[in-house]
Structure 1
Amino acid sequence: MPDTDLAAILGANLSSGNGIPVSIMDALRVPAVSNAIQLISEAVASLDVHVKYVEGGTEIEVTDHPVLNLLRGEANDWTTGFELIRQIMVDALVADQGGMAWVNRVNGRPVELISYRQGTLFFETDLDTGERKYRLGNRPVAARDVIHLMPPLPRSPLSLARDAIGIAVALDRHAARLFTRGAKPSGTLKFPKGMGETAVQKIIASWRQTHEAEDSGGRTVILYDGAEFEAITFNSTDAQFLENRKFQIEEIARAFNIPAPMIGALERATWSNSEQKGREFLSYCLEPWLRGLEGAFNRALFSDDERGRYVVRFDRDDLTRADLATRATVINSLIASRTLNPNEGRAWLGLPPREGGDEFLNPNITTPANTSAEGISNSDTPEDTDNAAE
């Protein structure tokens, strides 16, 4: 059973369990499949990428590391960092070999990242140890010079969902025929006995001209010589056709491990559970891919001296941001509990730090610094206090 990459090189299509050949392009023509792949790949590529220095268990952000220019700016002369990360994710979702990119080094430092078409950069796996040996064309390349994001299972999600996608393709094709004359006629013309063949042909020609032409909608039906029209209604199997199509959307969502409402299955989506579905999308779908991609970057982008000291991190906050009122309440609570200082809270809002904002103080109980004990003494009465205020 060849994998998807070899089949694509040879121009072959792999058949699903129902006998329908499903290539990668056939699968991508199914809206639920293309939507799922686009949703995951663009969500990952849209996150901010950071390089951090590890010191004593604490990660300190680094803003001048050359790897940042490759991941945030231009990976090479024709590809941006966003496009590179997105392509690696797309390849990992559709190809059994995963998503790969070659790291071009000059004097030991990475200067560009190149994502080749499938079949150009490939690998062979040792069956005993699982060690991967890479080749770029006919030239062997070091494993540390390859960014490689493997799918979680022996095959890609698209390959494993080929049967479900094949059913969706069959339903799409049937839907295309259903609304044409090839699938089921809208009705039948019944003629009385004894009508000649010539008269029947004339009635059929007149019917097609007045009711089957492109601009024939809404015309009045005129029948001759006792002819009758009987409409054909949908039976129970036809009525379940839409239910079958909806079920395939849910099946494809399960294959890619994303909540079904995120690719259009909104029957059970409500305002109350939409936020929960977003958290599930981050926790159960994106987080494993992000961990794998961070590990692939850490292994391939840093030198031997930098390994373990520098790490690549994706900022997940963009996917967990709530509305402004909720965020303000949470930030205020964290500052009041002295978990964050005001400047850290301002950083969450994208605001610059302010003077004195690095102290961990509770603004609800902390006395301002310019308050003195000379104003009101304990012996002052409320009336004296009011007079002093005046």
Structure 2
Amino acid sequence: MANKKRKGARSAKASASSGSLDLTSMTPELVAEFLRLGGTMQTASGAAVTETSAMRVAAAWRCINIISGTVGSLPMDLIRREGERIRRPAVGHPLRRLLTVKPNPWQTPSEFRRMLQAHLLLRGNGYAMKIRVGRDVAGLIPILPNRVEVEQRSEDLSLRYKVSRSDGSKLTLGQADMLHLRGMSLDGVRGLSVLNHMRESIGLALQGEAAGAHLMRNGQFVRGVLKHPNKLSQEARAFLKDSLAEHSGPTGSGGTLVLEEGMDYSPVSLSPTDLQFLEQRDFQRYDIAMFFGVPPHMLGATEKETSWGSGIEQQGIGFVTYTLNDWLVTWQEALKRDLIHESEWDVLDFRFNTQALLKGDTKAQWDAFTRGRQWGVYSANDVREKLDLNPRDDEAGDEYAAPPNQTLAPPPAAPEGDPDDPARTA
């Protein structure tokens, strides 16, 4: 029986390393044995990495919170195409209310998007079960990625989802019943788990924090050793013990010891600088930021220059262009594929308003509005709408300026005289 347990646990660890762990199919005995042997996310540093432990790392928390919060807070709307160049909000469409007012009975749209984006960042997949009323989708119920097993049918290449419920029962859903947000994928079916691929970096960060906490608790690094020429007396030992206690803990570190009975202090050859403890922890911030594609300055790391540019503005532009835009396109295309009926694909689209990212930069926002007004892109009412203001009362609010270098010259003046005079037409 013991051999059977070890064999099952080893099998579970092998399947976990490939990202296909399903604890719900294991017996309680095998689960206990598997966890005793270290779990699926055991790292070389000795730290066990899960979603919960990863979120205890400040850099990982900040990266996930920045991307998820931005995706959740950006305005999104359902747009109807009324022509090749005319697009308007699809007012009255049931999907517009679902994604902009109430996706399910307990979440707001921003909470729903923030949650699924966090799933995407950690597990590479975001799932939500569709609740239908007739042909319309009336609700979206988010599902934890570790409760979903996805497979592709060989007959028609459609996807099938096996969902493990909290009560232990299982539910099988077809592709038409699931909203599936998929990150970077090698097979086109499952997104790659970022947490699995960055677990060594997270593990090092967790162990660094644990080591730092241990040092703070003891009050000092081991900087040297105490030498006594003979045997330490009981009285001197008690005095030394009390003295060391006074200089331990976060409030007592940094003091000076008073030695007795010819005792001598010798520094060790390996100092904290040689250990590069702080440098290692600082490196982990940059390493984790690289996995998520977040500029280091957004994590508070401003010591190094960025390859995206020399200023904070260039780093922000790089974040929107190379990181955030990728996730926004993923959302827009997945929502269109899984929520909009095929008969409406040519006329309906989901769109994020990335102009909202300029709200924090007043100068850049007004520069964009000014140029738009000068070149006839915006009218005064267009600008007021973006600022959440009511339109102007006069008709001039809807007028568009002619571009400065495209102002038409006035027509030539008509010749003087009688237009019917034969001499004028000769």
TM range (shorter): 0.7 to 0.9
Shift in CA distance, 45/205, structure 1 to aligned 2, threshold 3 Å: same
Q: Is the 8 A contact 1:4 1:14 kept in 2?
A: no
Task: Select between 27-36 and 233-242 the one with higher mean Cα deviation.
Answer: 233-242
Q: Is the 8 A contact 1:177 1:183 kept in 2?
A: no
| 2:126 is equivalent to residue 88 of structure 1 | no
Q: Between Structure 1 and Structure 2, how many residues are aligned? A: 365
1:60-99 aligned within 5 A: 60-96=88-124, 98-99=125-126
1:6 maps to amino acid: L
Cα distance, 1:83 vs structure 2:
1.3
| 2:61 is equivalent to residue 44 of structure 1 | no
Q: Is the 8 A contact 1:151 1:157 kept in 2?
A: no
Shift in CA distance, 289/218, structure 1 to aligned 2, threshold 3 Å: closer
| 2:400 is equivalent to residue 360 of structure 1 | yes
Shift in CA distance, 150/128, structure 1 to aligned 2, threshold 3 Å: farther
Equivalent residue in structure 2 for 1:145, among 173, 177, 184: 177
Q: Is the 8 A contact 1:5 1:118 kept in 2?
A: no
1:190 maps to amino acid: K
Cα distance, 1:102 vs structure 2:
0.8
Equivalent residue in structure 2 for 1:240, among 271, 276, 295: 276
Equivalent residue in structure 2 for 1:23, among 31, 37, 50: 50
CA deviation map 1:165-217 (0-9, x unaligned): 22222322322233344984354333233x45434433333324544478757
Q: 2:162 maps to which residue?
A: 135
Q: 2:8 maps to which residue?
A: none
SS of alignment partner, residue 303 of structure 2:
coil
1:65 maps to amino acid: H
Give % identity: 28
Cα distance, 1:280 vs structure 2:
1.0
Q: TM-score when scaled to structure 2?
A: 0.75
Q: 1:227 maps to which residue?
A: 263
1:80 maps to amino acid: T
Shift in CA distance, 148/198, structure 1 to aligned 2, threshold 3 Å: same
SS of alignment partner, residue 145 of structure 2:
coil
Aligned mates of 1:212, 1:60 — CA distance in 2: 67
Shift in CA distance, 186/127, structure 1 to aligned 2, threshold 3 Å: farther
Q: 2:303 maps to which residue?
A: 267
Aligned mates of 2:271, 2:245 — CA distance in 1: 29
1:145-164 aligned within 5 A: 145-154=177-186, 155-164=192-201
CA deviation map 1:20-78 (0-9, x unaligned): 43222222221111111111111100001111102323322223322232222222112
Equivalent residue in structure 1 for 2:205, among 168, 172, 177: 168
Shift in CA distance, 363/99, structure 1 to aligned 2, threshold 3 Å: closer
Task: Select between 230-239 and 171-180 the one with higher mean Cα deviation.
Answer: 230-239
Q: Is the 8 A contact 1:343 1:358 kept in 2?
A: yes
Q: 1:300 maps to which residue?
A: 338
Q: Is the 8 A contact 2:219 2:247 kept in 1?
A: no
Q: Is the 8 A contact 1:336 1:363 kept in 2?
A: yes
Q: Is the 8 A contact 2:68 2:115 kept in 1?
A: yes
| 2:282 is equivalent to residue 255 of structure 1 | no
CA deviation map 1:326-357 (0-9, x unaligned): 43333222222223222223223332222332
Unaligned 5+ segments in structure 2 are 1-14, 25-30, 165-169, 187-191, 406-426
SS of alignment partner, residue 92 of structure 2:
coil
Q: Is the 8 A contact 1:144 1:299 kept in 2?
A: no
Q: TM-score when scaled to structure 1?
A: 0.81
Shift in CA distance, 48/240, structure 1 to aligned 2, threshold 3 Å: same
Q: Is the 8 A contact 1:100 1:147 kept in 2?
A: yes
Q: Is the 8 A contact 1:101 1:116 kept in 2?
A: yes
Shift in CA distance, 125/238, structure 1 to aligned 2, threshold 3 Å: farther
Shift in CA distance, 209/35, structure 1 to aligned 2, threshold 3 Å: closer
Aligned mates of 1:315, 1:8 — CA distance in 2: 41
Shift in CA distance, 228/258, structure 1 to aligned 2, threshold 3 Å: same
Task: Select between 84-93 and 319-328 the one with higher mean Cα deviation.
Answer: 319-328
SS of alignment partner, residue 213 of structure 2:
helix
Q: 2:21 maps to which residue?
A: 6
Q: Is the 8 A contact 1:188 1:231 kept in 2?
A: yes
Aligned mates of 2:269, 2:228 — CA distance in 1: 20
Shift in CA distance, 265/295, structure 1 to aligned 2, threshold 3 Å: same
CA deviation map 1:249-293 (0-9, x unaligned): 111111111212112211136996111111111111111111111
Cα distance, 1:104 vs structure 2:
0.1
Q: 2:9 maps to which residue?
A: none
| 2:319 is equivalent to residue 319 of structure 1 | no
SS of alignment partner, residue 89 of structure 1:
helix
Q: Is the 8 A contact 1:7 1:14 kept in 2?
A: no
Shift in CA distance, 175/130, structure 1 to aligned 2, threshold 3 Å: farther
Cα distance, 1:100 vs structure 2:
0.6
CA deviation map 1:218-254 (0-9, x unaligned): 8774433333445558637545222222221111111
Q: Is the 8 A contact 2:375 2:404 kept in 1?
A: no
**For the aligned residues, what is the CA RMSD?**
3.3
Shift in CA distance, 126/165, structure 1 to aligned 2, threshold 3 Å: farther
Shift in CA distance, 129/184, structure 1 to aligned 2, threshold 3 Å: farther
Shift in CA distance, 220/352, structure 1 to aligned 2, threshold 3 Å: same
Shift in CA distance, 130/189, structure 1 to aligned 2, threshold 3 Å: farther
Q: Is the 8 A contact 1:298 1:311 kept in 2?
A: yes
Cα distance, 1:116 vs structure 2:
2.0
